[in-house]
Every structure is written in C-alpha cells, then in structure tokens.
C-alpha cells in the first residue's frame, strides 16, 4: 500500500477496490492506495494547478457535452483520463487515453492493450469504450490546438 500518488504520464488505469481504496495500474507496476478514486483524481488535478470541478467545467465547455466527460489532469504533459461510466458511481474506472495502444471486444466486455504491452479487461462494451476514447482524443486534440494556436485578444 502506498501513501501518495499523483496521476502522471505513466498512469494506465485506476480501478476502485472499495469506497476507500484504489488500485493503480502504472507503466512501472501496480499499487494500492488508501484513497477513494474520486479523491485521487481530484488531488491529482489540484497537484497540476486546478481541481476536478475546474477540469470538468472546462471539458464540458470545450466538448459541449456534460456526461462521462474526459478530464485533463496535466495540461503540460497532456495527460487525459476518461471514465468508464458516470464518475458518481462506485464502480467507475478511469483510463489514461495517452497510454491506450489498442482495444478489442471481449464478450460483453472490452480488452485494452496499453503501450507497455499489458492488457486489461474492462466491464464496458466496445461501443462505449470507443465513444469514450473518441471524446478523450477530441479533448486532447483541442488542448493541443489551443497550445499551438491561441486566440488573440482584440
């Protein structure tokens, strides 16, 4: 069990174990932290200069959507997570779109292959997974566009 963790470019997947514990899948290994998944996401947003609510409002405005929104965790390194279902649900997992290499259907579930070669089965349909990946990729693309071509005043 680790005491502290901030979501970063090596984060693959966050899975709630119970209401107070989260399992972290990272390029460098797997960890348990005595912190609920929402608190882990919010504290990571705060570590990089915002909050979950701030990132949520930004994603909502950028994507013109308001359900199961991806979240920019770190703007500088462009780390974006997306939820597998409503973040209000205890079973919600968060996946780092930056580290998804491929994905496929696995019965009524989906299998994700990450850039380190590891695969994980997630309890969502392929259609839902693809939709969430598209949303997260769109948010990432819009972030990159703003960085390279900011709006001018006047």
Give the separation between CA 11 and CA 127, rounded to whole angstroms: 23
| Residue 108: predicted pLDDT | 86
Percent of the chain past pLDDT 90, that is, above it, reads: 87
| Torsion angle of the four alpha carbons 11, 15, 16, 17, in this order, in degrees rounded to the nearest 10 | -110
Tell me the pLDDT tens digit for each residue of 79-103: 999 999 999 888 999 999 999 999 9
Backbone angles phi, psi at 77, to 5 degrees: -90, 5
């Amino acid at each position: 069990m680790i005491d502290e963790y901030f979501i970063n470019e090596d984060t693959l997947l966050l899975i709630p174990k119970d209401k107070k514990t989260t399992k972290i899948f990272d390029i460098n290994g797997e960890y348990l932290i005595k912190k609920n998944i929402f608190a882990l996401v919010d504290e990571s947003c705060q570590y990089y200069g915002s909050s979950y609510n701030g990132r949520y409002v930004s994603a909502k405005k950028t994507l013109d959507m308001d359900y199961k929104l991806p979240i920019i965790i770190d703007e500088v390194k462009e780390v974006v997570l997306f939820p597998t279902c409503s973040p209000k649900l205890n079973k919600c997992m968060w996946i780092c779109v930056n580290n998804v290499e491929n994905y496929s259907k696995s019965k009524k579930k989906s299998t994700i292959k990450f850039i380190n070669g590891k695969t994980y089965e997630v309890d969502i349909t392929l259609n839902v997974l693809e939709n969430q990946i598209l949303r997260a990729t769109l948010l990432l693309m819009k972030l990159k566009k703003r960085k390279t071509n900011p709006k001018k005043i006047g």
